[in-house]
Every structure is written in C-alpha cells, then in structure tokens.
Amino acid sequence: MCAALAGAFAGREVINLADAAHKTRDLSGIDYALVWKPHADLFERATDLKAVFSGGAGVDHVLNLPGLPDVPLVRFVDRSLTTRMSEWAVMQCLMHLRQMKAYDAQQRKAVWNPLSQPEAREVTVGVMGLGVLGQDAAFKLQIMGFNVIGWSRTKKELKGMETFDSGALDAFLAQTDILVGLLPLTDDTRGLFNLALFKTLRQGGALGKPVFVNAGRGGSQVEADILQALDEGILGGASLDVFEAEPLAQDSALWSHPGIFITPHTAADSDIRSLFAHVEEQIERHENGLPLEHTVNRKLGY
Ligand SMILES: NC(=O)c1ccc[n+]([C@@H]2O[C@H](COP(=O)([O-])OP(=O)(O)OC[C@H]3O[C@@H](n4cnc5c(N)ncnc54)[C@H](OP(=O)(O)O)[C@@H]3O)[C@@H](O)[C@H]2O)c1
C-alpha cells in the first residue's frame, strides 16, 4: 500500500494509520477517511470528517463500524473491478454449462467419456442484483449466448432481457437454471439463498438441475442449505466466492464437495491504485461543489 500511496493524493497531507507512528496521533481536522477494517477508535479520534470512503464495493461492514459519523459514505465503483467480476461470473456459468466438474473427475481417472452438451441459449441465467456489477455481468453472459433474466429491488429496463422486481421473486426463480447472486448484504438479503429458495428454481432445464453461483456476500447464503440442496439433488452444482465466515474454515464440508467450485473472495479484488484515483476524483468533485457519486443509502443498507 505504501508504494501506491507514494504517487497518490498529490498536494494533500495523507496519514497512513497502518503506520504505528500514527497510533495515537490527533486526527481532529482530518477531512476524509478511506476505510476497510479501521481501528475501533477511528471515528472517536477523527471528529471533523466530511466524507467516508469504503475501500470496497460492498459497505455492509462499514455501516456496522462503531461511531460512523453522519456524513456521506461513498462506495468503490471501478471499471476494472466490474470487468473482473464479470469475468468470474461468465467463467463460472461456462464451467457449469460445459460440465467441467464432471470432466475434471473423469480426467483424474483417465476416462474418455463425452457427455451430452446443451448450448448456452438453452440455459437461463438469472442474475440477482442488477447494480453496477450485476448489469455488466448480465450483458456479458448475454454475449456468451445465455438467455439472461434479472431481478432487483426496483425493476430495470435492460435491452433484450426480461427483468423482475423484488415482488416477483418466485416468477423469476421458476425460470432460472443458473442463479448468479450479485447482491449487497443488507437486512433484506441476509440468509436469502436458503433451501426454500433453491427449491423454487427450475428443475429439469437443459442442465438437468439448477446451479447456484454467488459472489455478492456470504451472509446472504445458508451454507448448510447449499450442502443439503446438493446432496438431495435440488441443486446440481455451485460456485462460491464468498462465505458466511471468511476465511472458510479448514473443516468446512464445502471444500471437498464434488459439486462446488470455490474461490477465496477474489472474484473482483479492489486495485489499490484505482481505489486511490477514485477517492481523489470524488474529493475533487466534492470540493468543486459537485455531488459525490456512488453514495450509500443508509436506510437501504447499500
Ligand atoms: N466477491 C467479490 O470479490 C466482490 C467484489 C465487489 C463487490 N462484491 C459484492 O457485490 C455487491 C454488489 O455490488 P454492486 O456494485 O453491483 O452494487 P449496487 O450497484 O449497489 O447494486 C446492488 C443491486 O442489488 C439490488 N438489491 C439490493 N437489495 C435488494 C433487495 N432486497 N432485493 C432485490 N434487489 C436488491 C439493487 O436493486 P436496485 O437496483 O433496485 O437498487 C441493485 O440492483 C456488493 O455489495 C458487494 O457485496 C463482491
């Protein structure tokens, strides 16, 4: 981080609180804070903040920070992060479409056994969360040929895509073969991906059984229910980048389940230089009297 900081925020004083020398430093008069997992006493010490910037696209953990002041909270939105999330989502959907779990198992046993192969257009991918990340992933999945539908709190008009608002969840799930979760963690989305929901996904589509893919937040999924749904044949596979507790416990049954692809919350990392550039841009907007972008609605929690 220090190397990235060296070239950032030209003309401004920057205090790196990871530096032990600043542990007890007076932070009154500091205008802006960029936070990820800050010291517990940050907001007691920095009493004059004009805005707080989240180091990530998600803000669930920032909203829970003790003493978070009532100033604008800005989340991280970045072209590169968005692109990498779409790469991950497209890759996971293609891995399930092209039965890579089954071929990997066959390869380990030197088995030459071609499986029947549906085309992407026969498979409906339902994207839950049509924000910055969900919309980009949805369009890129469409380019790969999937039939894509989307669900969000407020209904969206997206070219060539059937969309649903939160009241039409059952209708959306009933058409979905691969469910892609790109939702923030809020009171409304906590535990949403559970057995009851998996049971309402379409059975008997081109993949046989539905698949669950999640890169939003682990708190939205019930991992015991994912395992039960896989073992009972309600789900045919899963791809998980996020978990109820991270890092995923060594003894979690998710690791060794033959139907699950796991990545360690790396679907779309925040690039530190891009993050600093985004914060600099927003500070300049603010100081030039323009509204901050990507501010969080605290009532909604995202
Ligand atoms: N795994 C990773 O590496 C990684 C990286 C970055 C981000 N993330 C996660 O991805 C999440 C999404 O990011 P984003 O930038 O796309 O967020 P965003 O632009 O704020 O979009 C959030 C979407 O979720 C929808 N939504 C929120 N609550 C809902 C509810 N209760 N019911 C239905 N829809 C709901 C919103 O609906 P409306 O459109 O109606 O507002 C919106 O479409 C982040 O919050 C973060 O947790 C993960």
- CATH code, domain with 88: 3.40.50.720
**Which atom of ligand 1 is the closest one to the Cα of 185?**
47
Instruction: Write out the residue range of the structural domain in which residue 37 sits.
Output: 2-78+270-287
Determine, yes or no, domain membership for 299: no
Same domain flag for 172 and 68 = no
Determine, yes or no, domain membership for 250: yes
Q: Hey, whose CA ends up nearest to atom 48 of ligand 1?
A: 216
Residue 30's alpha-carbon distances to 25, 27, 42, 66, in angstroms, are: 11, 6, 11, 18
Same domain flag for 114 and 249 = yes
The finding on whether 130 has its CB within 6 A of some atom of ligand 1 is yes
Q: What is the mean pLDDT of residues 210-239?
A: 98
Closest CA to 46 of 58, 62, 33, 64: 33
Determine, yes or no, domain membership for 302: no
User: Which of the listed residues 88, 152, 186, 297 should we mutate to test ligand 1's pocket, taking the one with most ligand atoms within 8 A of CB?
Assistant: 152
State yes or no: pLDDT of 241 exceeds 90: yes
Determine, yes or no, domain membership for 47: yes
How many domains does one find in the chain? 2
* Residue that is written with structure tokens 């026969």 in the block: 122
Where does the chain show beta strands of DSSP type E?
32-35, 51-54, 73-74, 124-128, 147-152, 162-165, 178-181, 211-214, 237-240, 260-262
Same domain flag for 48 and 140 = no
State yes or no: pLDDT of 196 exceeds 90: yes
pLDDT band at 229 (very low <50, low <70, confident <90, very high): very high
Centre of ligand 1 to C-alpha 110, Å, is 42
* Residue that is written with structure tokens 């790196």 in the block: 16
**What does the mean pLDDT of the chain come to?**
97
Centre of ligand 1 to C-alpha 247, Å, is 21
Same domain flag for 14 and 119 = no
- The pLDDT score that the predictor gives to residue 291 is 98
Catalytic entry in 75, 96, 202, 217: 217
Distance between CA 71 and CA 68 in Å, rounded? 8
Same domain flag for 160 and 210 = yes
Determine, yes or no, domain membership for 169: yes
- The pLDDT score that the predictor gives to residue 23 is 86
Same domain flag for 166 and 258 = yes
Same domain flag for 154 and 29 = no
Residue 217 annotated among the catalytic residues of the structure: yes
Q: What is the mean pLDDT of residues 244-273?
A: 97
Centre of ligand 1 to C-alpha 301, Å, is 10
State yes or no: pLDDT of 1 exceeds 70: no
Same domain flag for 117 and 195 = yes
Same domain flag for 66 and 184 = no
Residue 265 annotated among the catalytic residues of the structure: yes
The finding on whether 136 has its CB within 6 A of some atom of ligand 1 is no
Same domain flag for 46 and 195 = no
Centre of ligand 1 to C-alpha 14, Å, is 30
Q: CB count, 10 Å around CB of 299?
A: 6
Determine, yes or no, domain membership for 292: no
Determine, yes or no, domain membership for 130: yes
pLDDT band at 6 (very low <50, low <70, confident <90, very high): confident
Same domain flag for 236 and 96 = yes
Distance between CA 195 and CA 279 in Å, rounded? 40
pTM exceeding the 0.85 threshold for the entire prediction: yes
Same domain flag for 55 and 148 = no
pLDDT band at 267 (very low <50, low <70, confident <90, very high): very high
Q: What is the mean pLDDT of residues 163-181?
A: 98
pLDDT band at 185 (very low <50, low <70, confident <90, very high): very high
Determine, yes or no, domain membership for 29: yes
